Amino acid sequence: MKIPIDKPILVTSALPYVNGECHIGHLRTYVPADIYVRMLRKMGYDAIFISGSDTHGTPIVLSAEAQGITPEEVVEKYHEHFKRIFKDLNVDFDYYGQTDSESNHRRTEEIVKELIENGYVYKKGTKQAFCNTCGRFLPDRYVEGECPHCGAMARGDECDQGCGKHLEPGEIIEPRCKICGSEADFKEQEQFFFKLSSFADFLITYLDKLGGTRNAKNYAKEWVRKELMDWCITRNLEWGVKFPGRDDLVVYVWVDAPIGYISFTEELIEKEEEWRKYWTEDKATIVHFIGTDIIYHHCIFWPAMLKGAGYSLPDAVVASGMVKIDGKTFSKSRGDVVWAAEFLERFHPDTLRYYLVAQSSHTKELDFSWDSFSTRMNNELVAILGNLVHRVVSFAYKNFGVVPEGDIEDEVLGKIEEIREEVVKAVEEYEFKKLVDSAMGLADFGNGFFQREEPWHLIKKGEKERERCGEIVKNVLQIIKAVCVLLEPVMPSKMAEVWQQLGMESDVHSAKLDEITVPIASGQALKKPKKLFERVEV
C-alpha cells in the first residue's frame, strides 16, 4: 500500500495475552512491525508505534488461581516479562501499555455506551454453564461432556475429538467443569449482544478498500459472505472492564483489548486534541500488525465496533503467518516451542530479527529449525555481510586508516539506487523477506566488486595504483554505508556497530534512506574492525 506522506501513521502490533512467556511465534508479528516502523521513518514518514499487554479474560483468572496469586499479579509478572523481551530485541515501541489501565477502562466504557446509545447493543437470555463447586460461570471452552451428535467426548462449544460439529450452549450432554471435574449445569443468564449482523453492508465496502495483506482481506470477506452473527459481548466475571450499569458483568476481552490501541495512543500523546486526530478525525493512517489467528477480530469485529461508536477506521491490516517448529505446530507439552528468553541467552537479538524475516515471506508459514537458523547465520550474516564489512574495513584501516579519496562510480551509485527502489517496494508490499534479500544482494554486490578489482594487488604496486586502490576501497565503503542504513531496521544494534567502524559521526538509527547515495566523507577516520557475527554451531 502506498501510504500518504502528508499524514502521520499509527502502527500497532497485536497485544500479547499475558498469561505465559514470550516465544518466537509472538515475535513473528512484533519484529516485522518494528522493522516496518523503522523503515517508514527512514523514508520520511511521521510514525508512532504502539502496543501493550492484553490482561483480561478467563485464562488469566484461572492462571492466577493455579498459582495462588491475583490476576493483577499474573499480569504484572508477564507484562514486565514482555517489556523486557521487547527491549532486549530492540522492538522499540513509542508506548507499551496494558489494558487494565484506568484510561482503557474509561475508553472502553465510553465506547460501549456509544454503541448502546446508537442502538447496536441488546439484551438476550442465554444458557450459560455454571459450576457449583467453583461457584462460577464457565466459558464453553471450559465445559466438557458428551457430544449430542456422535457421542464422543466433546468441549462445550465444539465436538473437538469426534464429529467436529459446533455445539450451541446447553447442547452438550452431561456437562462437567473442566477446571475441577465436577458436574456443571446450564443456567439462564442475561447477556448483552452487539449487532454485528447490521454491519454486513458496511464491512463489504470497507474490506474492499482495506489495505494490508491479502490473507487478512480474503479471510474477512469470507465471513461477511457467510452471514454474520451478533456477538455476545459480556461475561460473568469479576476481572475485566465492567459493563456499564452492571456490576455482575464485564465486557468480553475482545472488546476492551483492541480499544487498548486507542487508550495507549491517549496515554502516549495525552493532549486530547492531538490523539483525536488519530482516532476520531481521520487525520492519520492506521496500520495493524497481527497474526493470522486474529484476523476475524481485527477485520470484522473491530471495524464494526469503531464504526458503530463513531471512531476512525484502520487503513491496513497486516497479518503474519504462523510459526512452526521443525514442521510441527507449537506445543508446550511436547517441547515444540522456542522461548524468546532462551534464544536470547544464546544468540544476539539481531540474528533472530534477521532470521524471522529472512526465513519466509510475511504471510506464509515460517518453519523454524536450528538447522536453517545456523545455515542462515553462517552463510549469510557471517559469510556475506560480516565478511564484507570485516575484509573491507580491515583492508582500508590497515592501508589508509581513513576513508580514502575518490569518486563514487556510476555503477555503484546505480546499484545502490536500484536496491533502494526494491527495498521501498518491499516495504509497501509488507514483504520483509524481499527487503532483507535485496539489502543482502547489495552486500553480495560489494563482495563481487571488491573481488573483481583486486585492490590487494594494487596496494603493493606504485603510487598511482595506490590511488586507484583507494578509490576502490572508498566505493566499497560506500556500499557498506548503504547496506548499513538499509539493514538498520532489521538489525539495529549490529548496524550501529558497522556505522561506528566506518567512522560515521551521525546516528544510523535516524539516518534517512536518502543518505545512502551521499558519498562517504574522505578523510574520516576508520575504527579498528571487529568481527560482526560469529559462526554458530547448533
Partner RNA sequence: GCCGGGGUGGCCUAGUUGGUUAGGGCGCCAGACUCAUAAUCUGGAGGUCGCGGGUCCGAACCCCGCCCCCGGCACCA
Return the residues of window 164-223 that contact RNA according to CB under 7 A. Answer: 164, 166, 196, 214-215, 218-219, 222-223
Enter the DSSP assignment of 529.
P
CA dist 521 and 310 (Å) reads: 53
The reply on whether position 379 binds RNA by CB under 7 A is: yes
Strand partners, 285: 9
Smallest separation (angstroms) from RNA to the CB of 285: 20
For RNA (CB under 7 A), the number of binding residues is 74
CA dist 99 and 15 (Å) reads: 9
Nearer to RNA among residue 132 and residue 329 (C-beta)? 329
The reply on whether position 384 binds RNA by CB under 7 A is: yes
The reply on whether position 296 binds RNA by CB under 7 A is: yes
Segment 456-475, which members bind RNA (CB under 7 A)? 456-457
Query: Is residue 440 a contact partner of residue 380, using CB atoms and an 8 Å limit?
Result: yes
Segment 4-63, which members bind RNA (CB under 7 A)? 17, 19, 54, 56-59
Strand partners, 329: 324
Q: Which of 236, 387, 493, 500 binds RNA (CB under 7 A)?
A: 387
Strand partners, 251: 234
Query: Is residue 307 a contact partner of residue 202, using CB atoms and an 8 Å limit?
Result: yes
Nearer to RNA among residue 94 and residue 365 (C-beta)? 365
Segment 133-152, which members bind RNA (CB under 7 A)? 139-141
Smallest separation (angstroms) from RNA to the CB of 281: 30
CA dist 417 and 117 (Å) reads: 55
Segment 304-363, which members bind RNA (CB under 7 A)? 322, 329, 360-361
Nearer to RNA among residue 55 and residue 90 (C-beta)? 55
CA torsion angle for 108, 219, 489, 15 (degrees, to 10)? 30
DSSP assignment of 466-528 equals HHHHHHHHHHHHHHHHHHHHHHTTTSHHHHHHHHHHTT--S-TTT--GGGGGSPPPTTPBPPP
Smallest separation (angstroms) from RNA to the CB of 40: 19
The reply on whether position 447 binds RNA by CB under 7 A is: yes
Nearer to RNA among residue 283 and residue 398 (C-beta)? 398
Residue with cell 469479576: 238
Smallest separation (angstroms) from RNA to the CB of 169: 8
Smallest separation (angstroms) from RNA to the CB of 179: 13
Q: Which of 375, 421, 523, 525 binds RNA (CB under 7 A)?
A: 375
114 phi and psi, to 5 degrees?
-60, -45
Determine the residue type at 401. G
The reply on whether position 394 binds RNA by CB under 7 A is: yes
40 phi and psi, to 5 degrees?
-55, -45
CA dist 435 and 287 (Å) reads: 19
Query: Is residue 78 a contact partner of residue 67, using CB atoms and an 8 Å limit?
Result: no
Smallest separation (angstroms) from RNA to the CB of 84: 20
The reply on whether position 227 binds RNA by CB under 7 A is: yes
Q: Which of 206, 373, 395, 400 binds RNA (CB under 7 A)?
A: 395
Nearer to RNA among residue 281 and residue 326 (C-beta)? 326
Q: Which of 2, 123, 209, 226 binds RNA (CB under 7 A)?
A: 226
